[in-house]
Structure 1
Amino acid sequence: MDTTTESTSESMRAGGYVHGYSGREARRLGDQADALAALLHEGTAYPAGSRVLEAGCGVGAQTVHLVARSPGMRLTAVDLSRASLDQARARVRASFPEARVRWRCADLRDLPFPDAAFDHVFVCFVLEHVPDPRGALEALRRVLRPGGTLTVIEGDHGSAFFHPDSAHARAAIAHQVALQAAAGGDALLGRRLGPLLGEAGYGRVEVVPRTVYADGARPELARAFTRDTFTAMIESVRDEAVAAGLATPADFDRAVADLRRAAGPEGTFHYTFFKATAVNGR
């Protein structure tokens, strides 16, 4: 999702990132990463000295969790946005002042590294915003050594369901999916992650669903994920959805209110992420 983000609306559109690069979006990405760290990063740790590439690090929301779990790795973090890289560098420095991370501004489809430069590649909430995810995976395979591992995490907005149910909320989610598609992305990419990896030439592909379920018994998760992550993400495309004629202001505002009800004491919310691992080669 993700994803999950921050600096000017115009530069975002150029990069296909439908949520924009605002400070609010940067905070949302941080909230999302922190709320889901145990769920998404479980099982991901890299040996000391290993060469790791985080492709599409954004504002560093996931980077801090990579550093926390693998303090001895040699990490290179890449993103297309210099503004996001500056925020990522500051975020990591604030939490891990001794961490050594190499920061590079580059396009995933044209990485400035030699063949087989990395032992491991980590990609989280990036492919859903790329017009050609298979091509991006093939480009990443070039810089991954034979037998090296790839980890990819993506969401799928079609997996979202909630109580109380709301036709307005379901419509707003569909509008977000449509707007992301218009920007060249795919908010439903999680369901086809496995086939994409196979088509891109990776082997030993394994995809595991990582499900988030929040209800009144999990109020902190309901706040951090249902309200402050997912609902905030939908709310961020309100003006675009209205401008595109997909929804009236009143209908969209009703959708956001209904999603917030799902984060309340009597509400429930379900969402599935897909975490894939694979190796470079058959």
Structure 2
Amino acid sequence: MDTAYVHGYTEPETRRLGDQADTLADLLHAGTAYPAGSRVLEAGCGVGAQTVHLMARSPGAHLTAVDVSAASLRQAKARVRGVDFRQADLFDLDGEYDHVFVCFVLEHLAEPEKALAHLKTLLRPGGTITVIEGDHGSAFFHPRSEHAQAAVDCLVRLQADAGGDALIGRRLHPLLTGAGFGDVSVAPRTVYADASRPTLVAGFTRDTFTAMVEGVGETAVARGLITQDRWDLGVADLHRTTREDGTFCYTFFKATGSRP
């Protein structure tokens, strides 16, 4: 699988993934529950941050969670029990499943439609796929800041340079239909945080989105995408949105489809 994880495999990134999954569990996983006995594949499970919530909502399903990183799988196994974890490249997967779940994976792939087409071959006829992706172009905040936007744009650029697409959320419908799925439906899942929602301010604005941007600062400066001074101003302005008069909004996209 041609992929480079732009966020890295550090301990802070592991915490960020957990914070993101826990904070957004109701928003992202609402409507996703698999019948007891069904065979479910989570493609690209990483450290198991989403796997925890899949198991909690579908305790009777038979869940197989796959990732290419052995280090991530070790953390996933320590995080959640009762899952068949396997190390494999997405394009090497075989078997037959009733449902496939993919979350925050396609954004890192150079050929997401090709990946979806392969995942379709793993579904029984009538089986379903669920895909969740973000779109960094959907982020807007108050106070408005050109420096903060420049920092976000650096992340988008770095992900593109690594072969991915940080704006992929808006593409889910054409990607799934292009890969041959039927009954494709896409819905926005928007998170909005202000002082009246302190859990989201801390869990999403600060510990998920801003932490994600902060994590690529050293690389962005080293590659000449931005100066250190401008980067520091941008990150400071992102943190500024977490104060009493700040607001932050971001949209995820959740798509479903089926194998004809």
- TM-score of the superposed pair, with normalisation by structure 1: 0.91
Corresponding residue of 1:109: 91
- Decide which of 26, 29, 43 is 2:31's aligned counterpart: 43
1:74 paired with 2:74, answer: no
Rounded Cα–Cα distance in structure 2 between residues aligned with 1:56 and 1:263: 31
* Structure 2 alignment gaps of length 5 or more: none
- Is 1:28 the counterpart of 2:13? The answer is no
In structure 1, the gaps of 5 or more residues are: 1-13, 94-99
Q: Which amino acid aligns with 2:150?
A: A
Runs of 4+ in 1 over 6 A off after TM superposition: none
The residue type equivalent to 2:47 in the other structure is V
Deviation of the 1:83 alpha carbon: 0.5
The DSSP-based 3-state class of the residue aligned with 2:119 is helix
- Deviation of residue 92 (structure 1)? 0.5
Q: What are the residue-to-residue correspondences of 1:49-198 with 2, within 5 Å? A: 49-93=37-81, 100-111=82-93, 113-114=94-95, 117-198=96-177
User: For 1:31, what is the secondary structure of its paired residue?
Assistant: helix
CA displacement, residues 101-142 of structure 1 (integer Å, 9 cap, x when unaligned): 11111111221x23xx10000000000001100010011011
3-state SS of 2:157 partner: helix
**Aligned residue identity for 2:109:** V
Q: CA deviation at 1:15?
A: 3.5
Matched with 2:259 is 280
User: Relative CO higher for 1 or 2, CA cutoff 8 Å, sep ≥ 6?
Assistant: 2
TM-score w.r.t. the length of structure 2 is 0.98
Residue 268 in structure 1 maps to residue 247 in structure 2: yes
Q: How far apart in 2 are the matches of 1:150 and 1:264?
A: 39
Partner of 1:97: none
Where do 1:214-253 residues align within 5 Å? 214-253=193-232
